Structure 1
Amino acid sequence: MTNTNQPRRPRSGRSVYLAATVCAIGALLFGYDTGVISGALLYLKGPLGIEDNAFLQGLVTSGLLVGAMVGALISGSLAARLGRRVMTLIAACVFAVGSLGAAFSPDVLTLVASRFVIGIGVGLASVIVPMYIAEISPTRIRGTLTSLNQLLITTGILLAYVVDYALAPWEAWRWMLGLGVIPAVALFVGMLFMPETPRWLASRNRMDEAREVLERTRAPEEIDEAFEEIEAAERQAREEAGWRDLTSPWIRPALTIGLGLAVLQQFVGINTIIYYAPTTLTQLGMGEAASIAAQVGIGAVMLLFTLVAVRYTDRIGRKRLLLAGSTGMSLSLGVLGILTLIVGASGSTVAVITIVCLATYIASFGATWGPIVWVMLPELFPLRIRGPAEGLATCGNWAANFVVSLAFPVVLAVIGQGLSMLVFAAFGVVSLFFVHHLVPETSGRSLEGLETELHATPKEEAPGQARS
């Protein structure tokens, strides 16, 4: 009996890892297109005539964020109708079109429009990739596989920094932006051969197909239990919920937690590092090439510590990692802020302190808040409303990203680097209390079990009955 079972387990394991990895190329595109602009912006300002126009420089950066908000809002309902796999294919096409448009932009307005299109792809990917991976993964490794989302985001950011650094001697910003078409094509071709998620197939009453996918992605002894859990969840909530249901009392606790996590992930300041680190380090006296090189190092730290989350998120637990990350981020930014106020905001000493503290901050974020938020969002919401709810939470994430990215240069100019870092440190403390008091532990529980525990269905709803 043991001999006959052993060959099947590796096949199912390989199948689910392959599906998760291929879909996570969408996360790599998310990271690449988010990070690449930081280096490209240094070299496109002159050719496009915006060297002295801070507003247009901001538009080039924030155009992606506005597109991401749109993509996140529309992704949930479209994923519910068309399926997770089809939406990933659509996202790949959007990425490719946007990357080519950015590379061949004749003027700044075309570049902003292309960045907006890329942003739609980023918004789609930020919802669909973790949703697809969470729904196709076995419970025992769901956290590990869903962490691939952040691992590939981080890999994409690091890849963007390396490309920026490699092409900096030629100031080849068009190539920096255009190379994103390569992973977009890889994502499209790869997803043609990947299965749809069993949860979505079951929601469309395609139970035979759902079982076939389970047979490809589960160990033999897990198939029947997983299929029964999916069937039970479908019996509990047959009709599909829409945007109006997001106002129902039964979903509010989960929506509050999801939106809170998504917004706080940005308010702790991560994307100010991604977008403005080269500019900030240049102002501290480092050359443009040296600033980009320092950012490559920061990206490498994030990638290294994201691997920690991939390995330990199912062992340590989501909540413990979030608490540890909030503590590390608050301390590192607090130290940076205080030392900058004491020593000053210029000179080689401050540059070294800034790099060390930012590396510590990045390590704390990369191992915790970076991946864990994307792991938890699909876990918090029931299937019948997962698309719209996760889309709204992710839109909140991108809206917070937009606000922080737009406000940071102004805040930095008005109150200086020291106080700016203390503001982000304060949000780190807020995130610590939010997680401690409101966020449940989701590690080691099936999506169906979490759905039953975290939510009362509309039929069960009564005053005071909604769960947190």
Structure 2
Amino acid sequence: MAGGSFGPSGVAEEKAEQYMGRVTGFVIIACIVAAVGGSLFGYDIGISGGVTSMDGFLEKFFPVVYRQKRHAHENNYCKYNNQGLAAFTSSLYLSGLVSSLVASPITRKYGRRRSIICGGLSFIIGATLDASAANLVMLILGRIMLGVGIGFGNQAVPLYLSEMAPTHLRGGLNMMFQLATTLGIFTANMINYGTEKLRPWGWRLSLGLAAAPAILMAIGGIFLPETPNSLIERGLKEKGQKVLEKIRGTSDIHAELQDIIDASDLANSIKHPFRNILEKRNRPQLVMAIFMPTFQILTGINSILFYAPVLFQSMGFGRNASLYSSAVTGAVLASSTFISIATVDRWGRRALLISGGIQMIVCQVIVAIILGLKFSSDGGLSKNFSILVVVTICLFVAAFGWSWGPLGWTVPSEIFPLETRSAGQSITVAVNLFFTFIIGQSFLTLLCAFKFGNLFFTFIIGQSFLALLCAFKFGIFLFFAGWITIMTIFVYLFLPETKGVPIEEMIFLWKKHWFWKRIVPRYSDAEGE
């Protein structure tokens, strides 16, 4: 450690009570513009499921699936079971995984703003290729470019929001990213509902409109200020100080500025952030960067959002009713995010994560029971049970929307010290996109294969559930319910409350936590590193 005068984070002592400033219009506008990047992620999640259920799209690129869909005798669970179709959805996330790791050194060396611009431009290219695709190769190439845009955007935007936001409102402003994501999903569902009627070319409009938020992100990024943390880390101390004064609305920013300078001194002494993040003093943050996005995906939310139209059609809904039901779930997800924005800096992260987890567990179990007892593989649900399934899924989506949805991004983006912050965010994004890829690639196969209970789920959930699993045809929902139980317990035991803690002083949380204080070395142990 440079000089040996600082703690492991580069910050000498806690100065949170000395932080001054207020929420300025300047920082709100900057955060809103930056958060548009989240709409790219959300729009693609929402648009993919709708497009893959459109006859014109399937007939052109996936004729085998189109024929399966039109055959009345085809098993409802297996109509869409095609690895090529799954690859259309999941290839974007594999590309995003790789690009998020590439984005880390770029974000650190050239700033958060330039990564945001790169993400917007890549997404514009991808949307253009997909909308004009004449063959499957061109279609997949467009998806790869969309993935590059998502990798850069998801890596840089949460960091930008966390560093720009004042401490006491960091949670709410950071959730602008998730709000934009949910609004992107809702917008995509509504667009799919309209373009499905424009046969056979409506899918092109759905895919092409992804360029709209990307253009806003790229142009907005040009006019956004860089974060003071990034400026100071790159040696632009005076410019960083001016930006900090502007976004805090006061010249009395000495305590926060000193914390940033201290952290920057340490950050500049670190040449290999990905290697440094493996050190013992960064172990708690690394664990959270891996487990938070993993658990976020294992809620099962992407299975519902990716293939909501497919899922509803498989349950016997008509084409229009399917898209309409998907639009409803998108609206619920977007509106529930406002609950989180309003309460996260008042109630804290832990309370929302735990309560949301409990509600999601209950909803997953209810859906599994209904589908297991009332849904046959060759028929549909009765009207009353169909309504009950949709309502329960909406309650599940609402719980996700005010808990694990936004906080799965917020918590990892705010806990890393400056020297490993971009690397830590890249790990968070890469893990999220890896599991998103796995779910996206395998869900249609799982939906077909797990129509009856099997020994794999018996092993996962426990031998005592053998009889139940033999009866339940939708064991995949119980699988997700089991994971939500595990992650809720994980939060209760291992995640300290980050509400109101300055981003550069997060290291002190781990020193006080009942478990992590045994792992994080004392300052004297870290000196000289």
Same fold (TM over 0.5): yes
What per-residue deviation string (whole Å, max 9, x for no partner) do you get for residues 71-125 of structure 1? 2222222101111001101111001000001001111121111111101111211
What per-residue deviation string (whole Å, max 9, x for no partner) do you get for residues 181-216 of structure 1? 122111111121110000111111211011111122
Amino acid at match of 2:238: D
Q: Equivalents in 2 of 1:222, 1:282: separation in Å? A: 59
Q: Equivalents in 2 of 1:331, 1:87: separation in Å? A: 40
Answer yes or no: is the 8 Å Cα contact 2:86–2:442 preserved in 1: no
Give the fraction of aligned pairs with identical amino acids, expressed as a percent.
28
Residue among 321, 339, 344 paired with 2:352: 321
Q: Equivalents in 1 of 2:370, 2:47: separation in Å? A: 30
Q: How big is the shift at 1:51?
A: 3.9
2:170 maps to which residue?
A: 142
Q: Equivalents in 2 of 1:268, 1:183: separation in Å? A: 27
Residue among 14, 25, 34 paired with 2:45: 34
1:374 maps to which residue?
A: 409
Residue among 167, 185, 197 paired with 1:169: 197
| Structure 1 ranges of 4+ moved more than 6 A | none
Matched, 1:394 2:429: yes
SS in 2 for 1:114: helix
Bigger mean CA offset, 379-388 vs 360-369: 379-388
Answer yes or no: is the 8 Å Cα contact 1:257–1:438 preserved in 2: no
SS in 2 for 1:443: coil
Residue-pair matches, total: 455
Answer yes or no: is the 8 Å Cα contact 1:95–1:117 preserved in 2: yes
Q: How big is the shift at 1:462?
A: 6.2
Amino acid at match of 1:251: N
Distance 1:14 1:457, change over 3 A: farther
Q: Equivalents in 2 of 1:203, 1:457: separation in Å? A: 25
What per-residue deviation string (whole Å, max 9, x for no partner) do you get for residues 380-415 of structure 1? 211101111210121011111111222222222222
| Structure-to-structure mapping, 1:10-25, within 5 angstroms | 13-25=24-36
1:153 maps to which residue?
A: 181
SS in 2 for 1:42: coil
When normalised by structure 2's length, the TM-score is 0.82
1:50 maps to which residue?
A: 63
2:454 maps to which residue?
A: none
For the pair shown, the structure with the greater C-alpha radius of gyration is: 2
Distance 1:352 1:202, change over 3 A: same
Q: Identify unmatched segments of 5+ residues in structure 1.
A: 1-8, 464-468
Q: How big is the shift at 1:66?
A: 0.9
Q: Equivalents in 2 of 1:231, 1:371: separation in Å? A: 29
Amino acid at match of 2:212: I
Answer yes or no: is the 8 Å Cα contact 1:88–1:128 preserved in 2: yes
1:466 maps to which residue?
A: none
Q: Equivalents in 1 of 2:210, 2:524: separation in Å? A: 48
1:454 maps to which residue?
A: 510
Matched, 1:115 2:128: no
| Structure-to-structure mapping, 1:231-270, within 5 angstroms | 231-240=261-270, 241-270=272-301
Q: Equivalents in 2 of 1:292, 1:257: separation in Å? A: 36
2:329 maps to which residue?
A: 298
Amino acid at match of 2:279: S
Q: Equivalents in 1 of 2:366, 2:321: separation in Å? A: 24
2:381 maps to which residue?
A: 347
Matched, 1:418 2:474: yes
Amino acid at match of 1:91: G
Q: Equivalents in 2 of 1:393, 1:184: separation in Å? A: 22
RMSD: 2.0
1:216 maps to which residue?
A: 246
Answer yes or no: is the 8 Å Cα contact 1:267–1:401 preserved in 2: no
Residue among 413, 429, 436 paired with 2:492: 436
1:228 maps to which residue?
A: 258
Distance 1:351 1:280, change over 3 A: same
Q: Equivalents in 1 of 2:64, 2:343: separation in Å? A: 45
Matched, 1:383 2:418: yes
What per-residue deviation string (whole Å, max 9, x for no partner) do you get for residues 300-349 of structure 1? 00011001111111111011111011111111001111222222343234
Bigger mean CA offset, 329-338 vs 181-190: 181-190
Distance 1:17 1:51, change over 3 A: farther
Q: Equivalents in 2 of 1:46, 1:386: separation in Å? A: 45
Answer yes or no: is the 8 Å Cα contact 1:237–1:457 preserved in 2: no
SS in 1 for 2:500: coil
2:236 maps to which residue?
A: 206
Q: Equivalents in 1 of 2:416, 2:391: separation in Å? A: 38
Q: Equivalents in 1 of 2:266, 2:28: separation in Å? A: 30
Greater fraction of residues in helix: 1
Amino acid at match of 1:267: L
Q: Equivalents in 2 of 1:42, 1:145: separation in Å? A: 35
1:188 maps to which residue?
A: 218
SS in 1 for 2:345: helix
Q: Equivalents in 1 of 2:169, 2:523: separation in Å? A: 32
